[in-house]
Chain A
Amino acid sequence: QQQVKQSPQSLIVQKGGISIINCAYENTAFDYFPWYQQFPGKGPALLIAIRPDVSEKKEGRFTISFNKSAKQFSLHIMDSQPGDSATYFCAAREGYNFNKFYFGSGTKLNVKP
């Protein structure tokens, strides 16, 4: 059973549009929620992360929205660019076992020029 459920599986957005990827979880012991970006042939790289005491975090064109009561968090990519085309993974870490990260199944984003 997947601890972090991610949707959609794939996403096509026009250049300049907003890309939105959603994740949901059940385990209230999660205390850290990172998003990783992976380009073909490369390993995932940390994009942005949030802790549950904050409802929103913004870094440039990338924003995480966090809804603790709904146990959902999402990544918004504003003004999406072709260079953003990659696979995005959300993840969650257990607060009592810092070694355990649970990853979503990934979203393949294609930004069309």
Chain B
Amino acid sequence: DVKVTQSSRYLVKRTGEKVFLECVQDMDHENMFWYRQDPGLGLRLIYFSYDVKMKEKGDIPEGYSVSREKKERFSLILESASTNQTSMYLCASRLARNTGELFFGEGSRLTVL
């Protein structure tokens, strides 16, 4: 079974703090994604990585950056957290570009005070 692990399930941070969200997948998938999930808005793509050190902006990249130094690990960085970044963050991986299924982690719920 594919496993996508988000190490921090719940975080509480203060406005202006730097936040790191880590995601690890164990199936040698090429592609990894970070989504934000908010009630009534579904899932929105923040960033996508199609290979090590390669990234693409999604629909809502403002205030976020990402890092993919190793194939299995994709990090989401909030340089200076703001209250409007309080949300559930979901990491996903996909075997390759031409395969459809996304495999999601269990999510990281971030609260910014």
Contacts and interface: CB of A to CB of B under 8 A. Distances in A.
Interface of A: 2, 4, 6, 9, 32, 34, 36, 41-46, 49, 89, 91, 93, 98-101, 103-106
A105 B97 contact: no
Size band of the interface chain B makes with A: 20 to 34
Interface in B54-82: 56, 58
Interface of B: 4, 31, 33, 39-45, 48, 50, 56, 58, 90, 92, 97-98, 100-102, 104-107
24 contacts: A2-B41, A9-B40, A32-B100, A34-B100, A42-B106, A43-B90, A43-B92, A43-B107, A49-B101, A89-B42, A89-B43, A93-B100, A98-B97, A98-B98, A99-B31, A99-B33, A99-B45, A99-B56, A100-B45, A103-B43, A105-B40, A105-B41, A106-B39, A106-B42
Nearest to B4: A43
A99 B104 contact: no
A50 B67 CA distance: 33
Nearest to B35: A103
Contacts of B58: 100
Contacts of B33: 99
Nearest to A43: B104
A100 B40 CA distance: 19
A36 to B, nearest CB: 8
A104 B58 CA distance: 16
B97 A44 contact: no
Contact of B42 (A34, A42, A105): A105
B104 A101 contact: no
Contacts of B56: 99
A104 B56 CA distance: 22
